[in-house]
Amino acid sequence: MRTVDTVALARRVRGPVLQPGDDGFTTEIAGFNAAIVHRPDVVVGATDAGDVAAAVGWAAEQGLAVAVQSTGHGQLAATDGGILITTRRLDEVRVDPVARRARVGAGVRWRSVIETAAKHGLAPLNGSSSGVGVVGYTLGGGVPVMARTFGFAADHVRAVELVTADGMLRRADAESEPDLFWALRGAGRIGFGVVTAIEFDLVPVRSLYGGGIFYPASATADVLHAFRTWAPTLSEQTTTSIALLRLPDLPQLPEPLRGQFVVHLRIAHLGGVEEGERMLAPMRAAAPVLIDSVAEMPYVGVDAIHSEPTDPMPEHHAGVVLRHLPAEAVDALIAAAGPHVEVPLAMVELRLLGGALARQAAVPNAVSGRGGAFSLLGLGPLLPGLEQVVPAVVGSVLDALEPFAAPGLALANFRGSLEATDGPYGAWPSADAGRLSEIKNFYDPAGVFGSGKRSLVG
């Protein structure tokens, strides 16, 4: 860390400009993953695009790297030096019900968009937790709750506004800055600038047949084997995933789940209740059930499908894409992470891919991982004493499934720590990686963005 003179910066921006030790600094840099504690030289709480442009311009003058944080759900490494721009005050949410389009500021979480869109019978393509930020999620592709019906969230983006390294506010869409528009939609986390707002299409969904089924630990093998034969038979109207959960003993959890190892099946079906009941019957019959909440539900209740944690937690995760899920893969998963092994994992999740996820967007984009059969994610709590153990265990689960992995396919939002080891272009096949690197060099020749782990000088 070095001492920087922020007087000129504070004059140029309206939002807070804070340095380590200042009141409010710790709150300003905090995010969802409590294991990531940023150490920037200075943090700027941007209030509008002008603040972002001023902060980026000042950072260029000072030779400082620029990192950006919205909610902190997707931070993979702590910023060490440089400037951190926080976007949570960029909270514009506008919905045009006729065009079925939303425009949102870079600090908006999915919850606000879901509620605003629902007033018009519309829904966004959010993921499993509405506390996640719209921009970070979408820049990484965005695998929605309704993924197999509508594809990646990035496939529905119409325009992205961002401040590039030269301090210019640009608008990238199908007509203007087309290469940048291609890259931002799926590979935006590589760092092409600081996004200030994003526009995307909404879908006409008011309700769905959805929810979760929890099974006891004793049913793990029966349920996972039933899932591997059942899931590939589903139509594009159904999106599903299954998770092995080691749940904490907390009073806010329903009694049969507290402190238990459970198997959690998640369902989002858009073909109506009757068809949904028929579709789900084989899984309801696969084993005794602890809780079954699958029913017709309004889209605003979508968080109940995955029931993700909402409070900040220290965590480590990594994920790979599988090309298929044969019986041996399920056996390997149970051997590595099933109820009979003592491992400090909170979740091991398999999401069914395919359907609309496999098709390129109408305006092609840089989303990675199209064409995979399943996504596999391992996640563990980085509690004191587990800092070394959890990454090793997550790695061993992924290694156990390695023979079934899809070579060359990776989902940017779920790779987690693998991004750190493979480098920023590791999620893309070589042709796309080459094009991304050219676009990066054009818009950010000095490597100011996506490199928040260092100061450029000093």
Ligand X SMILES: Cc1cc2nc3c(=O)[nH]c(=O)nc-3n(C[C@H](O)[C@H](O)[C@H](O)COP(=O)(O)OP(=O)(O)OC[C@H]3O[C@@H](n4cnc5c(N)ncnc54)[C@H](O)[C@@H]3O)c2cc1C
Residues lying near ligand X in the complex (CB under 6 A): 31-32, 68-75, 87, 106, 127-129, 132-133, 135-137, 139-140, 142-143, 189, 194-195, 308, 413
DSSP string, 270-313: -S-HHHHHHHHHHHHSSS--SEE--EEEEGGGTHHHH----S-B
Burial of 371 (0-12, 13-18, 19+ CB in 10 A): middle
As a residue count, the chain comes to 458
Query: Smallest distance, Å, CB 274 to ligand X?
Result: 27
Which of 77/335 has CB closer to ligand X?
A: 77
DSSP 5: -
Say if CB 451 and CB 68 are below 8 A apart: no
Which of 72/338 has CB closer to ligand X?
A: 72
Query: Smallest distance, Å, CB 381 to ligand X?
Result: 13
SS3 353: coil
Query: Smallest distance, Å, CB 135 to ligand X?
Result: 4
Q: Residue 133: what are its φ and ψ, rounded to 5°?
A: -80, 140
Query: Smallest distance, Å, CB 107 to ligand X?
Result: 8
The secondary structure element, H or E, covering residue 171 is: strand 169-173
Which of 241/260 has CB closer to ligand X?
A: 241
Query: Smallest distance, Å, CB 232 to ligand X?
Result: 20
SS3 90: coil
Which of 190/219 has CB closer to ligand X?
A: 190
Query: Smallest distance, Å, CB 335 to ligand X?
Result: 26
Which of 71/365 has CB closer to ligand X?
A: 71
Query: Smallest distance, Å, CB 7 to ligand X?
Result: 26
SS3 160: strand
Which of 180/334 has CB closer to ligand X?
A: 180
Can you list the positions of beta strands (E) in 307-422?
315-322, 347-352, 374-381
- Give the closest residue to 261 by CA, choosing from 209, 231, 224: 224
Burial of 50 (0-12, 13-18, 19+ CB in 10 A): middle
CA-to-CA dists, residue 200 to 16, 37, 157, 298, 449, angstroms = 29, 32, 4, 21, 24
DSSP string, 213-282: EEEEGGGHHHHHHHHHHHGGG--TTEEEEEEEEE----TTS-GGGTT-EEEEEEEEE-S-HHHHHHHHHH
Which of 276/450 has CB closer to ligand X?
A: 450
Q: Which two tokens stand for residue 308?
A: 């993700």
Say if CB 199 and CB 102 are below 8 A apart: yes
Which of 123/132 has CB closer to ligand X?
A: 132
Torsion on CA atoms 186, 190, 193, 198, rounded to nearest 10: 20
Query: Smallest distance, Å, CB 68 to ligand X?
Result: 4
Query: Smallest distance, Å, CB 323 to ligand X?
Result: 20
Query: Smallest distance, Å, CB 157 to ligand X?
Result: 13
Which of 32/261 has CB closer to ligand X?
A: 32
Which of 45/136 has CB closer to ligand X?
A: 136
d(CA 76, CA 323): 26
